[in-house]
C-alpha cells in the first residue's frame, strides 16, 4: 500500500499521476531516454506534457509537444480493449501535424491482452510515423538500476505503486496454504491474539502505564507503544515481519540510541524470562519474543513482566537525565 491508495484507481487517474511525476527532472529524463528517437531529452520540459487532449481522430492519453516534436502516448495499465481507431486514428492525426519529429508510443504492461491485435493493426497501416512499445517493467528496471529515486520519499512511493500495479508479488497457492486458510481455527487464533494484546494494554493502562500510540493493522503491527520522548521507543504486540521471520507472534521491542537504556532492556528481558533481545534484520529495533503458554493467568503474567521492564526503563531514563 502506498500514499496513492484511493487516489489512483483507474487508467485516467494513473495517467494524470504519471504526467505529474514528470515534474521531477530526474524521472522525466529517464523516461525520455527510453524513447527511441533522435532528440535531446534536455529540450523537453514538464510544460511540454499534456493529457486527454481531444483531436479529430481520438484522444491520446499523453502528448509530448514542442515546436518540432509531437509524440502521442497511449497508456494501458490493464486489459482495456482497443478502440476502433487505435492505433490507426492516432497515426493519421500525426501525419497531418506539420512537425519534423512525430511518433506514436504504446506504454503498456508486458502481459497486455490485446498487444498482438495492436501490433497487427499497426503493421497493416501504411503510415510512415515512427512507433514504439514501452513496457512498464522497463521503467521500473531503469529506476531501480540507476537508483534515481534514492533519498526522495515521494518518488519512492511512486516506484512502489508501479511495482504494485505491474510487478505484483507471486502468490503461490499450495496445500499448506489451503490447509491453513480453510481451517476454522485460523481466524479464531488471530482474534484471540488481538484480544490478548488489547487486554495486556488495558491492564497496563490500569496500572498507570502511558500508552503513547496504537497500531491496529494485523499485516503490519497490531499493538501499542510506550515511548519515552527523546530516550527510547518501546513496542509491545504483534509485528508481522518479525512473526514471518521467526514464527513468534508476540514480542516486545525497543529502539534507542542510549547504550545504558539498551543494556537495561537486555537485563530486564533476561530477568523476566523472555528471550535474549536481538537486532532484527535491517532495522534498528532490538526484539525479544514473549512466549504464549497455556495458563489461565497468561494475561496477568505478561502484564506484570512487561510493566517491570517499562518501570525499569523509565527509572533508567530519569537517572540518565539527572
pLDDT digits (tens, 9 = 90+) for 244-285: 999 999 999 999 999 999 999 999 999 999 999 999 988 999
* pLDDT reading at 13 higher than 90: yes
Amino acid 284: pLDDT: 94
Handedness of CA 132, 137, 140, 143 (dihedral sign): negative
pLDDT at 319 over 80: no
Q: How far apart are CA 265 and CA 313, in angstroms?
A: 7
Give the residue among 64, 70, 31, 60 at the shortest CA–CA distance from 45: 64
pLDDT above 90: percentage of residues in the chain: 89
- Closest to 134 (Cα-Cα) out of 166, 164, 100: 166
- The model's confidence at residue 57, banded by pLDDT at 50, 70 and 90, is confident
What is the topology classification, in CATH, of domain 180-321? 3.90.1150
Average pLDDT over residues 100-126: 96
The domain ranges of the chain are: 11-166, 180-321
Residue 283 C-alpha cell reads as 532495522
What are the two backbone dihedrals, phi and then psi, of residue 26, each rounded to the nearest 5 degrees? -60, -35
Q: How high is the mean pLDDT of the chain?
A: 94
Q: What is the mean pLDDT of residues 122-140?
A: 95
More confident position, 304 or 296: 304
Residue 322 has pLDDT above 70, yes or no: no
- The pLDDT of residue 169 is 87
Amino acid at each position: 500500500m502506498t500514499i496513492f491508495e484511493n487516489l489512483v484507481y483507474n487508467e485516467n487517474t494513473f495517467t494524470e499521476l504519471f504526467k505529474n511525476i514528470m515534474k521531477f527532472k530526474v524521472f522525466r529524463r529517464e523516461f525520455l531516454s527510453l524513447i527511441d528517437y533522435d532528440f535531446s531529452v534536455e529540450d523537453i520540459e514538464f510544460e511540454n506534457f499534456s493529457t486527454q487532449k481531444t483531436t479529430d481522430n481520438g484522444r491520446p492519453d499523453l502528448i509530448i509537444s514542442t515546436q518540432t516534436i509531437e509524440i502521442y502516448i497511449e497508456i494501458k495499465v490493464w486489459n482495456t480493449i482497443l478502440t476502433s481507431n487505435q492505433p490507426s486514428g492516432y497515426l493519421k492525426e500525426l501525419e497531418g501535424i506539420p512537425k519534423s519529429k512525430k511518433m506514436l508510443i504504446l506504454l503498456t504492461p508486458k502481459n497486455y491482452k490485446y498487444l498482438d491485435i495492436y501490433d497487427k493493426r499497426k503493421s497493416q497501416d501504411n503510415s510512415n510515423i515512427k512507433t514504439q512499445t514501452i513496457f512498464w517493467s522497463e521503467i521500473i528496471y531503469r529506476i531501480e538500476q540507476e537508483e534515481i529515486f534514492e533519498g526522495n520519499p515521494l518518488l519512492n512511493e511512486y516506484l512502489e505503486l508501479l511495482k504494485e500495479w505491474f510487478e505484483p508479488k507471486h502468490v503461490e497457492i499450495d496445500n499448506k496454504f489451503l490447509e491453513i486458510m480453510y481451517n476454522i481455527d485460523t481466524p479464531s487464533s488471530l482474534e484471540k491474539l488481538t484480544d490478548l494484546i488489547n487486554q495486556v494494554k488495558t491492564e497496563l493502562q490500569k496500572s498507570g502505564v502511558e500508552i503513547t500510540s496504537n497500531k491496529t493493522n494485523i499485516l503490519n503491527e497490531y499493538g501499542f507503544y510506550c515511548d519515552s520522548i527523546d530516550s527510547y521507543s518501546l513496542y509491545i504486540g504483534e509485528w508481522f515481519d518479525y512473526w514471518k521471520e521467526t514464527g513468534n507472534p508476540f514480542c516486545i521491542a525497543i529502539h534507542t540510541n542510549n547504550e545504558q537504556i539498551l543494556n537495561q532492556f537486555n537485563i530486564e528481558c533476561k530477568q523476566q524470562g523472555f528471550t535474549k533481545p536481538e537486532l532484527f534484520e535491517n532495522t534498528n529495533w532490538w526484539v525479544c519474543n514473549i512466549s504464549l503458554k497455556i495458563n489461565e493467568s497468561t494475561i496477568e503474567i505478561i502484564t506484570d513482566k512487561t510493566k517491570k521492564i517499562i518501570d525499569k526503563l523509565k527509572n533508567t531514563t530519569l537517572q540518565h537525565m539527572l
